[in-house]
Amino acid sequence: MDRTILGLLAILAAFLAGSLLLPSWAVSLATVALAKALVILGLLVLLRAGLVPFGQALFFALGAYGAGMALREAGSGDVVAGLFAGTAAAASAAVLLGFLMARYREIFFAMLSLAFSMLLYGLLVKNAALGGTDGFNVPAPTFLGWAPSPATARRVLLAVAAALAIGCHAAIHVYLRSTMGRLATAIRDNEIRVEYLGASVQRAIHVKFAIAGTLAGMGGVLTAFSAGHIDPGMSYWTASGEFVFVTVMGGAGSVLAPIAGSFLFEIVRTYAVEYAPQAWQAVVGAVLLVIILVLPGGLWSLFQRRRGTQPP
* CB closer to another protein, 25 vs 196: 196
- Rounded to whole angstroms, the Cα distance separating 261 from 281 reads 16
Q: Nearest Cα to 43, choosing from 204, 240, 281, 203?
A: 240
Q: State the minimum distance, in angstroms, from the CB of residue 171 to another protein.
A: 9
Query: How many angstroms separate the Cα of 97 from the Cα of each of 92, 152, 219, 282, 292?
Result: 9, 39, 19, 34, 32
- DSSP state string for 129-144: GGTGGG-EEPPPPBBT
Q: State the minimum distance, in angstroms, from the CB of residue 100 to another protein.
A: 19
Q: Could you give the angle at the alpha carbon of 108 between the alpha carbons of 104 and 113, nearest 5°? A: 85
Chain centroid to Cα 15, Å, comes to 18
Q: State the minimum distance, in angstroms, from the CB of residue 266 to another protein.
A: 30
Q: Which residues bind to another protein, rule: CB under 8 A? A: 174-175, 177-183, 185-186, 188-190, 192-200, 308-310, 312
* CB closer to another protein, 134 vs 195: 195
* CB closer to another protein, 160 vs 201: 201
* CB closer to another protein, 175 vs 237: 175
Q: State the minimum distance, in angstroms, from the CB of residue 284 to another protein.
A: 31
Q: State the minimum distance, in angstroms, from the CB of residue 189 to another protein.
A: 4
Q: State the minimum distance, in angstroms, from the CB of residue 90 to another protein.
A: 19
* CB closer to another protein, 126 vs 203: 203
Amino acid at 166: I
- Rounded to whole angstroms, the Cα distance separating 223 from 110 reads 24
- Rounded to whole angstroms, the Cα distance separating 157 from 27 reads 9
* CB closer to another protein, 197 vs 279: 197
